[in-house]
Amino acid sequence: MSTITMDQIAVMSAQYVHHTFDFYLDSMKRCNVRNIDLWGANPHFCRLDYPTSAAAARKLREMREKAESLGMKFVIYTPETLGYPYDISSPYQIVRDRTLDYFDMAMDDTLELGTNRLFINTGSGLRDIPREESWKLAVESMQKICEMAEKRGIFMMLEQLQPYESNLLYNLPQLKDMLTEVNSPALKVCVDLIAMAVAGEELEEYYDVLGEDAIQFIHYGDGDPSGHYILGDGNLPLKEYIRTLEKHNYTGYVDLEINDSIYWVDPHTSVQRSVDYLREFLPEHA
């Protein structure tokens, strides 16, 4: 029997971008999934819609109460920061400052939701600017973000991206370099299995290079190897990934990121099929 259980499965709400947060919660209830990854953007929760921290906190408390009334909990907050208007490596100080301010607010939001995990990625440097310049700015911004996180007891979950998304961090060596240069105990790793497969890498390599303590979150999806498909619809070795996590005594969350626009019309079915796939070999509880 697997030591990874359905109690460790979470679902990112980005898949429900064309549906309300209430619809998402109802879908999680029908799928019997209790762990929520809140995508911080419309139509669920966009921090920019609230003129004050108090107004944002009231909305988040309302969302948290709804989730908890259904036996669910927020396990990570994923504010939308991959593109405009945020960029930690922007050559423009005003953009970097805006991004840092946004993460400052996102940390308050994270704690309001009852979790201490906050998602982050590097985004992309402007591709007509030398990568080394963008990398330097990204490291400096990440250091400032992690300083804020350390003071609040928050752990930043850093994900690697795909080359079409970023020219900064899209493979294991670059991820290792970022962790080394930022050098913060608040910076941990979310391994995106799709991006890992696109880079031609193996999950065991991540453990060999980074160690067990660094890997605190998993973005789990299927692909060919690209894409974020319903589990079982791609050709990735999904069960092998679970065996690797078991080998390294992984106790964190396995977050379903089935975020492809082909599923936006009917996100519930995409998630239901995926959790049904997992239940074929994962026990419900430890």
Percent of the chain exceeding pLDDT 90 equals 95
For residue range 126-169, list pLDDT tens digits in order.
999 999 999 999 999 999 999 999 999 999 999 999 999 999 99
The reported pLDDT for the residue numbered 2 is 85
For residue range 259-273, list pLDDT tens digits in order.
889 999 999 999 999
pLDDT higher than 90, residue 83: no
The reported pLDDT for the residue numbered 259 is 84
Single pTM value for the model: 0.97
Segment 239-254 shows an average pLDDT of 98
Is the domain 6-157+243-279 a CATH 3.20.20.150 member? yes
For residue range 171-204, list pLDDT tens digits in order.
999 999 999 999 999 999 999 999 999 999 999 9
The full set of domain ranges for the chain reads 6-157+243-279
- What does the H/E/C string look like for the chain? CCCCCHHHEEEEHHHHCCCCHHHHHHHHHHHCCCEEEEEECCCCCCHHHCCCHHHHHHHHHHHHHHHHHCCCEEEEEEECCCCCCCCCCCCCHHHHHHHHHHHHHHHHHHHHCCCCEEEECCCCCCCCCCHHHHHHHHHHHHHHHHHHHHHHCCEEEEECCCCCCCCCCCCHHHHHHHHHHHCCCCEEEEEEHHHHHHCCCCHHHHHHHHCCCCEEEEEECECCCCCCECCCCCCCCHHHHHHHHHHCCCCCEEEECCCCHHHCCCHHHHHHHHHHHHHCCCCCCC
Q: How confident is the model at residue 114 (pLDDT cuts 50, 70, 90)?
A: very high
